[in-house]
């Protein structure tokens, strides 16, 4: 092949293959397109962010801000109905409702004592006595702090007993004879005692730590005791309530002797126990002591029938 023919063939191949070999590859072209799109998206995001920033800088009307802060106390996000008292004034408590208020029976016998007659009773009695003396030594005449610690413990048995009877009723497909509701109401009543005292005084940090530790230990111990023997658990609670009655009796004596200031009753106590508007702390302690005496009788009776069966159909 001559030199002329070779040159002509080379030029022909260069014209055919040159654009493909010398042009940018598809991958590089795609990369260029991607970079263009990225720059465009970045510009759009920047403009959107600046627009949102301008919107945030605009002052929010006070009416809108206040409406956003309005709390709706409901599980379903629906504002609860506005409740009123008998005199037409608004009801301001969320922890209980007007139909849950009542008048305590202050004529109940506060000196009643169940004498231990068998081994279960004696075990329960001496258990409570062993727990009582360290508490009295620690609090001495600080009745308010003593009462607050007492209520944090006294509210546990009703909840534990009601919970376990509830589960037992579900397992056996049987009714409880009304005991679940009675025990849960007892726990709620004890909690309201604590809410009342919290309106009058606040415990110190170390007293809160004691409450935290004592409640944690007592809850688990009582839970195991109830699983082992409901009769023993309710007898322990009955003796605990007897000591609560005695403690509030001492509180009343110091109020009457002027050793403790007889401050006005908190509003929550007046509404919960339907007390007169001019009631004092002495009146509050009287109704709380009556509640404790009622819980005493309830738990001693529950220990007699032992609540080992939930088969009653009434």
Binding residues: 151, 190, 193, 241, 292, 295
Task: Give the whole-angstrom CA distance, residue 119 versus residue 106.
Answer: 33
Task: Give the whole-angstrom CA distance, residue 303 versus residue 239.
Answer: 11
Other beta carbons within 10 Å of 219: 15
Task: Give the whole-angstrom CA distance, residue 211 versus residue 195.
Answer: 15
Q: Considering only CA atoms, which of 196, 202, 182 is closest in space to residue 272? A: 196
The annotation places the binding site for Fe cation at 151, 190, 193, 241, 292, 295
Q: Considering only CA atoms, which of 202, 198, 196, 201 is closest in space to residue 279? A: 196
DSSP state of 176: -
Contact 191, 155 (CB under 8 A): yes
Using CB atoms within 10 A of its CB, is residue 53 exposed (0-12), middle (13-18) or buried (19+)?
A: exposed
Task: Give the whole-angstrom CA distance, residue 236 versus residue 221.
Answer: 12
* Residue 248 in tokens: 């509030």
Three-state SS at 84:
strand
Task: Give the whole-angstrom CA distance, residue 157 versus residue 183.
Answer: 8
């Amino acid at each position: 092949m001559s030199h002329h023919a070779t040159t002509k063939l080379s030029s022909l191949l260069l014209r055919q293959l040159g654009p493909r070999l010398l042009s940018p590859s598809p991958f590089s072209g795609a990369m260029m397109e991607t970079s263009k799109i990225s720059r465009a998206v970045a510009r759009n995001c920047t403009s959107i962010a600046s627009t949102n920033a301008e919107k945030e800088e605009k002052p929010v009307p006070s009416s809108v801000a206040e409406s956003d802060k309005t709390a709706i106390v409901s599980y379903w996000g629906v504002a609860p109905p506005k409740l009123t008292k008998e005199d037409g004034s608004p009801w301001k408590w969320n922890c209980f409702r007007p139909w849950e208020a009542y008048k305590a029976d202050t004529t109940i016998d506060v000196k009643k004592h169940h004498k231990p007659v068998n081994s279960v009773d004696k075990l329960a009695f001496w258990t409570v006595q062993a727990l009582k003396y360290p508490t009295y030594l620690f609090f001495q005449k600080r009745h308010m702090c003593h009462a607050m610690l007492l209520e944090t413990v006294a509210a546990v048995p009703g909840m534990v007993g009601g919970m376990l009877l509830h589960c037992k009723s579900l397992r056996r497909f049987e009714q409880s004879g009304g005991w679940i509701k009675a025990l849960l109401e007892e726990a709620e009543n004890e909690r309201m005692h604590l809410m009342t005292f919290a309106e009058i005084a606040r415990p110190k940090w170390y007293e809160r730590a004691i409450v935290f530790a004592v409640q944690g230990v007592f809850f688990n111990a009582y839970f195991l005791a109830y699983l082992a023997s409901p009769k023993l658990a309710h007898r322990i609670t009955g003796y605990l309530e007897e000591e609560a009655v005695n403690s509030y009796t001492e509180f009343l004596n110091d109020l009457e002797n002027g050793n403790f200031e007889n401050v006005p009753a908190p509003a929550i106590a007046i509404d919960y126990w339907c007390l007169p508007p001019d009631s004092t702390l002495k009146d509050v302690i009287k109704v709380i002591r009556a509640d404790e005496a009622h819980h005493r009788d309830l738990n001693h009776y529950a220990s007699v029938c032992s609540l080992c069966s939930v088969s009653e159909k009434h």
